[in-house]
């Protein structure tokens, strides 16, 4: 018999408008790993096109798992990893953050590191470079976070987000590095004050679950969306159609190109059907806030 670990990590959306690099939300779209110890490393992706094996040294999961084990002075043992993901790459749904959190958790389990939640928040956010997606994948729910110069993360964590979310995934990739290249290097004081006030109001609205007000401030970002909008297929059209169909508000998911609406759960089915008719070129997915963050199920696998 041998151990098997089932690791589940939620994807995430970040920013929700003006909450730039600090607000994240875990979504019920998942990266799933099955991990067993064996003599040689093997990472296999499972998708609709069948299994695909990847070069080990180039795979982010392995790089992060090894980095984590090395950081704690442990030798990472060889594993067979089967991965299945509901998160499209480079679309703004936290695919890289989910792999980072999964790699840390893999090392935590197979090396028996006994990492705390705070350890996972700090390390994943340091690797990702900002705490929005990483904290949401570790904790689930809504996270409002800050990371200091020493890489220590401070997070407000709110669960029970009683609303639904709709994501609009175009058939194009947008690398975060490309979307950051269009942002200004600095803002003048009055502009920055206005932008910061909108971010504060978004955070406060989400914390008290005033989703109607939150939706208004999702659409009042000044930090990044005015500059990224030109890179996003259907940006203005989706925002207008979502509002007319009953959404509280719509924003970029992370750096895009995916967009996300927050909507009343009562209208979810009708809303999705209306938006699918209007935007057939997008993959439109109804989802909810994940409530649990990264989860591990350890079991015993019988050897035949």
Tens of pLDDT along 97-114?
999 999 999 999 999 999
Tens of pLDDT along 67-77?
999 999 999 99
Q: Measure Cα distances from 212 to 82, 216, 244, 246, 261 in Å.
A: 41, 7, 14, 10, 12
For 157, the 3-state DSSP assignment is strand
Residue 304 has pLDDT above 60, yes or no: no
Residue 186 has pLDDT above 70, yes or no: yes
Q: Say what the pTM is.
A: 0.94
Start-end of H helices in 245-290 = 268-278
CB 251 within 8 A of CB 225: yes
Residue 53 has pLDDT above 80, yes or no: no
């Amino acid at each position: 018999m041998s151990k098997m670990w089932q690791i589940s990590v939620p994807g995430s959306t970040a920013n929700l408008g003006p909450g730039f690099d600090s607000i994240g939300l875990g979504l019920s779209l998942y990266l799933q790993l099955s991990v067993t110890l064996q003599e040689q490393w093997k990472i296999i992706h499972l998708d609709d096109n069948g299994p695909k094996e990847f070069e080990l040294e180039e795979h982010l999961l392995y790089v992060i798992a090894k980095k984590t084990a090395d950081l704690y002075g442990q030798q990472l043992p060889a594993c067979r990893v089967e991965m299945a993901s509901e998160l499209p790459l480079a679309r703004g749904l936290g695919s890289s953050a989910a792999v980072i959190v999964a790699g840390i958790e893999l090392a935590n389990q197979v090396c028996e590191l006994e990492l705390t939640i705070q350890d996972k928040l700090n390390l994943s956010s340091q690797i990702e470079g900002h705490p929005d997606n990483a904290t949401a994948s570790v904790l689930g729910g809504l996270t409002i976070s800050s990371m200091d110069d020493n890489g220590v993360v401070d997070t407000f964590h709110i669960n029970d987000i009683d609303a639904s979310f709709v994501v609009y995934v175009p058939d194009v990739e947008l690398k975060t590095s490309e979307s950051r290249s269009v942002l200004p290097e600095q803002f003048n004081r009055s502009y920055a004050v206005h932008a910061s006030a909108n971010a504060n109001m978004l955070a406060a609205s989400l914390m008290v679950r005033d989703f109607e007000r939150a939706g208004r401030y999702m659409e009042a970002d000044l930090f990044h969306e005015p500059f990224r909008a030109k890179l996003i297929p259907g940006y203005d059209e989706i925002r207008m159609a979502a509002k007319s169909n009953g959404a509280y508000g719509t924003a970029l998911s992370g750096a895009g190109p995916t967009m996300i609406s927050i909507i009343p759960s009562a209208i979810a089915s009708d809303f999705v059907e209306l938006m699918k008719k209007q935007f057939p070129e997008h993959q439109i997915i109804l989802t909810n806030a994940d409530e649990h963050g990264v989860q591990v199920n350890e079991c015993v696998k019988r050897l035949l």
